[in-house]
Chain A
Amino acid sequence: MKPFGYENWKVMHMPTDTLSPVFSALADPTRRAILLRLMDGDASVSELGAPFDMSQPAISKHLRVLESAGLISRSRVATARYSHLEAKPLEQANEWMQQYKQFWNESLDKLDTALADYLNSERGKERA
C-alpha cells in the first residue's frame, strides 16, 4: 500500500454515482459468479447460464445489470451475444475498499495509543 497522500484522499472521495451501481451489481451472488466465469474469457448467454438452474431470460437480466454498471460489455457474433469482462470498475471499487480499510486500520492504531496516553494521564491526575 502506498503511503497516504492526495491520490488516496481522491480515491476516498470518489463520487458514489460511479461506485454505487458497481456495488449494487456485485451484491448478487449469481452476478459475482458470472464475473468470475468471465475472468476465464468471453462467454455466450447459454454458456454463462449453464452452471445455474435459471432461465435464459433471468441470466440476460443479470447481464443487463452488469452491463449498465459498466462491469461487462456485450457483442454479437452471428446469433449469439458474447459478454466481456470490463475490469476498470472492479479495480476502482477494490481500490476504494482497500483505501478505506488502510485508512481505518492506521487511524485506529493511533486511537489505541491516544487512548492509552489519555487514560495514563487521567490516572496520574487522580494520584496527584
Chain B
Amino acid sequence: MSNDTIPEVPEVTDSDVFITRAFEAPREVVWNFFTRPELVALWFGPKEVHVDPASVIIELKVGGRWELDMVDNVTGERYPMRSTLVVVTPPEYLEGAAEALPGSGPQNDLRLRIWFHDHGAKTRLTIHQGPFTPEFRDMTCLGWESSFAKIDELLASGIA
C-alpha cells in the first residue's frame, strides 16, 4: 500500500471487527490525541491501566515507531504496545502494523486502521483492527456476529 492511499471505510461498520464513534471535538484535535505523545498518554488503554508518559515514542512518518507502555493501575505490571506506522495522512487516516509480541517485529497482517471524518461539528472515528489477509480485507463482515453468537453458545454448552 502506498503512502497516500486511504482505503474506503467498508459499508458494514457495525460488526465485531469495526468500532465507530463520534467525538465532540474538531478533527485536528482528535488526530492530535492519536499522534502527540503527551496527549496519547492521557487516554490510551482499557480502564484498568494508564500510560507511562515517559514510555511514549511516536515518530509521525511512514516507517516511524508508535510505542508506549500501559501500566496496571493496581499491580504496576507493564503491558508494552509496539507498532510501526504504515500510512500517515494527517488529519484523515492512520495505519499501523503491530508486533505480535514485543521484539518480534511488525507483522504485515496485524493491522490497525483509523479513519478520522468530519461529522458536523463532531469527528467520527472508525477503527478496524484485524489480520488482513486478502480474503479478510475484501469481505463484508455480515454473518460474523451471528456465527460467533452460536459458537459462544456451543462452547458454553461444552459440546466442543
Q: Is the CB of A39 within 8 A of B154?
A: yes
Residue numbers in A under 8 Å from B75 (CB-CB): 5
Residue numbers in A under 8 Å from B25 (CB-CB): 115, 118-119
A90's closest neighbor in chain B, by CB? B151
Q: Is the CB of B131 within 8 A of A114?
A: no
Q: Is the CB of B17 within 8 A of A97?
A: yes
| 18 cross-chain CB contacts under 8 A | A4-B45, A4-B48, A13-B100, A13-B101, A16-B100, A23-B130, A23-B136, A24-B136, A27-B133, A87-B155, A88-B160, A102-B46, A106-B47, A109-B47, A112-B21, A113-B43, A114-B39, A119-B29
**Main DSSP-derived SS at the B contact region:** mixed
Closest chain-A Cβ to B5's Cβ sits at a distance in Å of 22
Q: Which chain A residues have a beta carbon within 8 Å of chain B's beta carbons?
A: 3-6, 8-9, 13-16, 19-20, 23-24, 26-29, 32, 35-36, 39, 85-88, 90-91, 94, 97-98, 100-119
With A3-B48, A94-B152 known as contacts, the answer to whether A104 contacts B147 (CB < 8 A) is no
A110's closest neighbor in chain B, by CB? B43
Q: Is the CB of A16 within 8 A of B16?
A: no
Give the A-B contact count at a CB cut-off of 8 A.
138
Closest chain-A Cβ to B16's Cβ sits at a distance in Å of 5
A14's closest neighbor in chain B, by CB? B100
Residue numbers in A under 8 Å from B125 (CB-CB): 108
Residue numbers in A under 8 Å from B154 (CB-CB): 39, 87
Identify the stretch in B53-61, B85-93, B104-112 within 8 Å (CB) of chain A at 4 or more residues: B104-112
Q: Is the CB of A15 within 8 A of B104?
A: yes
Q: Is the CB of A29 within 8 A of B155?
A: no
Closest chain-B Cβ to A85's Cβ sits at a distance in Å of 6
B52 on the A face (CB < 8 A) = no
B72 on the A face (CB < 8 A) = yes
